[in-house]
Amino acid sequence: MKLASTGSSLLLVLALALVSVFVSGFGKRIPILSFDEGYNQLFGDDNLVLHRDGKAVHLSLNERTGSGFVSQDLYLHGYFSASIKLPADYTAGVVVAFYMSNGDIFKKNHDEIDFEFLGNIRGKDWRIQTNIYGNGSTSVGREERYNLWFDPADDFHQYSILWTDSQIIFYIDNIPIREFKRTAAMGGDFPSKPMSLYATIWDGSDWATNGGKYRVNYKYAPYVAEFSDLILHGCAVDPIEFLSKKCDTTSQSLELSATITPSQRSKMDSFRRKHMTYAYCYDQTRYKVPPMECVINPKEAERLKKFDPVTFGGGRRHHGKRHHRGRASQSEADTI
């Protein structure tokens, strides 16, 4: 792990002054952690570099390796967030992930909650994907994909996961973009075991861009993803006994904050109407009957059907290659 020089005393002063962030829904400021306070390097050797007195992290991918970090604690529910700036230019095959998982502990029945950023060829926008697995339910991909109302390589934007006992909400810049509610029919398929928080950058050439048609071009390396404003606000648990360390009032505040206000719901509906390009609940080529937790929104169904009648209208599909996840193999705000 390397600690880079700040390069500017002004930047250092600003960084040190930024010790908390206001989170809409919690109605309060939540502390921002330095890297050493909450995280450890996962892999990547010198491809992980600390900046701004340890309050920002750069992860890079080159021909030798990708890189990543992981939270020091396991958490059973919480609010997890980071401001992220993605690599620019040609990024085909590059995958940046900000996610929760317990796959290192529960090999056959792991849980996972993902933000995945899937690179693209020059001139095309980064694509963002959210996904959820529970109790090893990897045969049922719960993916949604979206375009964004901004270029995520131009500046930092906040990406957040709120996970409670009853639901999961994904946010971008404090705008909810996806709400996933627990249902009785799901049984154990809702993530319910303690998880760690991860951030990684790696080579997903085999599937990430057009099913592997466009691969990582290391002529443009290193690819650098920048992380700052790191937040771990949740119920930390002992990694051996799985007993809560500090979960007295946190669970109650998480449940209260999971209530989406009418204003937030309006923004979420607008985002999904304008920017969602894929939702597993409507994929008639994968699921003849929607998975049990799906609640079909007729307006979403109609829009997606017009967007891609083959996938969402039940038409016939030419044989293609469905991607396989590879992480395990490498240890409008204003206009919405």
Q: Which residues are catalytic?
A: 112, 116
Measured CA distances, 232 to 38, 46, 239, 266, 314 (Å): 7, 24, 16, 27, 42
Angstrom distance (rounded) from CA 259 to CA 249: 17
Site of tokens 């829904």: 25
DSSP class of 244: B
Burial class (CB in 10 A: 0-12, 13-18, 19+), 87: buried
Is 177 in contact with 271 (CB distance < 8 Å)? Answer: yes
CB atoms under 10 Å from CB of 7, counted, come to 10
Backbone angles phi, psi at 4, to 5 degrees: -80, 155
Angstrom distance (rounded) from CA 150 to CA 147: 9
Q: How many secondary structure helices (H) and strands (E) does the chain include?
A: 6, 18
Q: Which two tokens stand for residue 212?
A: 């592997």
